[in-house]
Amino acid sequence: MTDFLALAYPWIKAFHIMAVITWMAGLFYLPRLFVYHAEQSKPGDSRDQVFTVMEYKLYRFIMNPSIIVVWLFGLALVMTPGIVDWSFVWPWTKAVSVLGMTWFHMWLGRHRKAFASGRNTLSGRNYRMMNEVPTILMFLIVISVVVKF
């Protein structure tokens, strides 16, 4: 298995990066949709219905498949011999940041369901602030992987 991972490394890395880009697009866009949803619609009106469909499709058909691919190929990269040296700090900061990004994904899913059922309690301002979470985590992940401190 490790021979296969070593031979497939460039392909695994390429698909991992593409999945990360797709996932991040959703992580940036969905909270933005929540801002507009919270500020420009009321439960049950026509805008509410449009936002609900957009949020559902983004989460279900783009973000969920992306997170699965990110995790599968990311774990394959971690298991590739010679790629990760756990005696450094960077793999740990990346791992914690990816767990944080995964938590944020799930948090977005809970709030998507709250909007869909007419039970959203957060304001557009709250969603604007939460929209900074993936940016901060992205900085930590990229710096960890590129600088390898």
**What's the domain range around 74?**
2-147
Q: What pLDDT sits at residue 63?
A: 98
Q: What is the mean pLDDT of residues 46-63?
A: 98
* Count of domains forming the chain: 1
Is residue 87 over pLDDT 90?
A: yes
Compute CA distances 3 → 15, 79, 92, 124, whole Å: 18, 11, 25, 50
128: which 2 tokens? 């604007």
Compute CA distances 135 → 24, 45, 53, 82, 129, whole Å: 9, 32, 25, 29, 11
Q: What pLDDT sits at residue 137?
A: 97
Compute CA distances 93 → 16, 17, 115, 121, 129, whole Å: 18, 18, 33, 32, 22
Is residue 1 over pLDDT 80?
A: no
Is residue 2 over pLDDT 80?
A: no
Compute CA distances 1 → 8, 13, 79, whole Å: 11, 16, 10
pLDDT in tens, 93-143: 999 999 999 999 999 999 999 999 999 999 999 999 999 999 999 999 999
